[in-house]
Amino acid sequence: MLALVKTDPGPGLELREVPMPVVGINDVLIRVHKTGICGTDLHIESWDPWAARTIAPPLVVGHEFVGEIAEVGANVAGFAPGDLVSGEGHVVCGRCRHCLAGRRELCARSIGLGVGRDGAFAEYVVLPMSNVWSHWRGVNEEVAAIFDPFGNAVHTALAFPVLGEDVLVSGAGPIGLMATAVARHAGARHVVVSEPNAYRRSLAIKMGATLAIDPRERALPDVFDELDMVEGFDIALEMSGVPAALQAAIAAMAHGGGVAILGIPTEEIALDVNAIVFKMLTLRGIYGREMYETWYKMTVMLQSGLDITPAITHRFGFREYEAAFAAARSGDSGKVVMDWTS
Ligand code: NAD
Ligand code: ZN
């Protein structure tokens, strides 16, 4: 089969023939239809310091996908060839305290699809059946392809109850964009998006943001009067990984607020602990998705009218992967999807 492979330590990816993945007795083999490009894939492609210490080539990259089941292992029940599925990209150990208690998202030994094991930028991918999510008939396949980052957005946006609250979203990358729509769908009063990139600010408005501001031009407290906000934000979703964004969010929180942190910074961040203490804030780190409550919530929110399609802005065939990666890297894009069926 053809796959996008990190062949050696160093920049670049290669589209090449690789052996079909081996299907174990508990595994499901999936013919990939569509994939989404994630920031993680860009890190692996460019071979940054994180990739250099994390990735052991050769590796098939990619973890956001939708496809059709081609074959199931001897032990597999509940899945059949032809089913349309996506995969949870964190393969957990199944044996630790948290896994045994059913809190699989807290597993400290999880292995990432396309990071620690061969991934989904390929014609076929294999996953344990416990990592496979069945879609309903009629799901939009492009949306299904990005359930993994959509799940990051849902898990973060629902980390604190947003109904009636004023929500700040810092960073309107694909995940911040989807979180904006989720917060809106879940009943937030105002969703203010802070994002320096103008293309992404205009997408944020399409996703339902009340306001989209450029943090270089406008400080957060500057919007309070305009939006009838008394004290500050009730909830902040940190989706940029940028130190100044987290610091500005904490400074703009109301008493008792919640800050859900998804963005991954590349450096340590100094925080105003006095503000955290005296405003009695809750800071919560978010990694991945809840298995599988987040997947359930994604499904039912789509079925009840949530629309995340404006966050998908670019489409390529897999042979045009270089152009696809360039579009994702440019910043003037939302989610970039590659098709593996042509
Ligand atoms: P992205 O890099 O596309 O988006 C980040 C956005 O933040 C960009 O649009 C950028 O212009 C914006 N930004 C830069 N400076 C800013 C500032 N001062 N204030 C506000 N915004 C600013 O990333 P993404 O794919 O949408 O992912 C969002 C973040 O979540 C990234 O940091 C990513 O590494 C991280 N992530 C975490 C998990 C997890 O499980 N915790 C999973 C996936 C991604
Ligand atoms: Zn575990």
CATH number at residue 211: 3.40.50.720
Count: domains in the chain: 2
Query: 175 in ligand 1 pocket by Cβ < 6 Å?
Result: yes
Give yes or no: residues 30 and 107 share one domain. yes
Give yes or no: residues 255 and 227 share one domain. yes
Give yes or no: residues 194 and 279 share one domain. yes
How does strand 84-87 pair with strand 111-112? Answer: unpaired
Give yes or no: residues 140 and 210 share one domain. no
pLDDT score of 214: 98
Residue at 227 is within a domain: yes
As a whole number of angstroms, the distance between CA 301 and CA 153 comes to 12
pLDDT score of 342: 84
Residue at 295 is within a domain: no
Residue at 303 is within a domain: no
Asked whether the beta carbons of 279 and 303 are under 8 A apart, the reply is no
pLDDT tens over the chain, length 342 residues: 999 999 999 999 999 999 999 999 999 999 999 999 999 999 999 999 999 999 999 999 999 999 999 999 999 999 999 999 999 999 999 999 999 999 999 999 999 999 999 999 999 999 999 999 999 999 999 999 999 999 999 999 999 999 999 999 999 999 999 999 999 999 999 999 999 999 999 999 999 999 999 999 999 999 999 999 999 999 999 999 999 999 999 999 999 999 999 999 999 999 999 999 999 999 999 999 999 999 999 999 999 999 999 999 999 999 999 999 999 999 999 999 999 998
> From the CA of 240, how far away is ligand 1's center (Å)?
3
Residue at 294 is within a domain: no
What stretch of H or E contains 155?
Answer: helix 147-157
- Residue 170: which region, alpha, beta or left (left: phi > 0; alpha: psi -120 to 50)? beta
Domain range holding 121? 2-146+308-339
Quick check: helix, strand or coil at residue 330? helix
As a whole number of angstroms, the distance between CA 42 and CA 58 comes to 16
Give yes or no: residues 129 and 256 share one domain. no
Query: 197 in ligand 1 pocket by Cβ < 6 Å?
Result: yes
Give yes or no: residues 204 and 101 share one domain. no
Residue at 184 is within a domain: yes
Residue at 196 is within a domain: yes
As a whole number of angstroms, the distance between CA 228 and CA 123 comes to 52
Residue at 252 is within a domain: yes
Give yes or no: residues 125 and 249 share one domain. no
Give yes or no: residues 136 and 194 share one domain. no
Give yes or no: residues 212 and 103 share one domain. no
Residue 223's nearest CA partner among 189, 200, 199 is 189
Which residue CA neighbors atom 35 of ligand 1 most closely? 263
Q: Which residues are catalytic?
A: 40, 43
* The overall pTM is greater than 0.85: yes
Give yes or no: residues 258 and 317 share one domain. no
Taking the CA of 96 as reference, the closest ligand is 2
> From the CA of 159, how far away is ligand 2's center (Å)?
22
Residue at 210 is within a domain: yes
Give yes or no: residues 228 and 261 share one domain. yes
CATH code for the domain in which residue 329 is found: 3.90.180.10
- Strands of 166-170's sheet in order across: 211-213, 190-194, 166-170, 233-238, 253-261, 282-285
Quick check: helix, strand or coil at residue 176? helix
Give yes or no: residues 60 and 184 share one domain. no
Name the residue of 110, 238, 240 whose CB sits within 8 Å of the most ligand 1 atoms, as the mutation to test its pocket: 240
Query: 196 in ligand 1 pocket by Cβ < 6 Å?
Result: yes
